[in-house]
Amino acid sequence: MSGWDRQQMADRLAREFQDGWIVNLGVGIPTLCSNTDIGDRDILYHAENGVIGYGPVLPAGQEDLHLVNAGGQNVSLNPGAAIVHHADSFGIIRSGRIDVTVMGAYEVAASGDFANWKLAGQLGGGIGGAMDLAACAQRVFIILEHTTRKGEPRLLRQCSLPVTARGVVTLVATNLGLFAPAGEGFAVRELAPGVSFEAAQTATGAPLLPG
């Protein structure tokens, strides 16, 4: 089974961004979305640390050490960028001005629940801005590998881990394709090249519904 690599997963989701959207990118694969060529669409990338209007990650030697995205990577700024502090940055988030937040996750449920802050049996966790974003953004998109390293499904009927927020995920990109939580299962919006419906179903812990 082939499928998409990490940048392709990010590119596929970035294709869904609509002209004029304000987009928040979380740590990990989601940060790759700001590398995607979005053509003539006007997309404003917001990072939780108060950077509004950033662009691609810069190569070593060209980076500005004072400027990082949510993943701690040194990014560039687009014309019209602005900087705010953390309270104003999360004010933008909580007041519903983020059109979409793209996050990584451990698990996504067919109900739209997702879990990305605490592993089973773990003491403490890593919430970061995920709960604020999940509760308040207009849309939540998730990017994750379709299965764990042990091959267990991460798209499930119900989350087994403590959730980050309930019923909020509307679109999921994995290495196998693009899926939409649909209550009883996941609607298949698109399968990655070389991935069959049956192979995707086998790797999924909930029914797949033909898109």
Catalytic residue among 16, 48, 107, 184: 48
Q: Which of 8, 15, 35, 49 binds another protein (CB under 8 A)?
A: 49
Closest C-alpha to 91, from 124, 130, 50? 50
Distance, first Cα to last Cα, the chain:
20
Gyration radius of the chain over CA positions: 17
Positive or negative: CA dihedral 71, 75, 66, 59: positive
Please give the backbone phi and psi of residue 16, each rounded to the nearest 5 degrees, phi first.
Answer: -80, -15
x-or-dash pattern for another protein, window 58-97, by CB under 8 A? ------xxxxx---x----xxxxxxxxxxxxxxxxxxxxx
| One residue of 5, 127, 183, 197 binding another protein per CB under 8 A | 127
Binding flags for another protein, 139-178, as an x/- string (CB under 8 A): -----------------------xxxxx------------
**9 contributes a contact to another protein by CB under 8 A:** no
201 touches another protein by CB under 8 A: no
48 is a catalytic site residue: yes
CB of 114 to another protein, least distance (A): 11
Q: What CA–CA distance (Å, rounded) separates 171 from 38?
A: 18
**How does DSSP classify residue 40?**
T
Amino acid (one-letter) located at 143: I
Written as one letter, the residue type at 98 is I
Beta carbons of 172 and 155 less than 8 angstroms apart:
yes
And the tokens for 95?
């007041």
Which region, judged by CB under 8 A, interacts with another protein, from 4-12, 124-132, 176-184, 203-211? 124-132
Q: Which is nearer to another protein, 118 or 189 (CB)?
A: 118
Q: Does 109 bind another protein (CB under 8 A)?
A: no
Structure tokens at 18: 């609509």
- Quote the least distance from Cβ 135 to another protein, whole Å: 5
Where do contacts with another protein occur on this chain (CB under 8 A)?
Answer: 19-20, 22, 27-28, 40-42, 44, 46-53, 64-68, 72, 77-97, 118-119, 122-132, 135-136, 162-166
Which residues carry out catalysis? 48
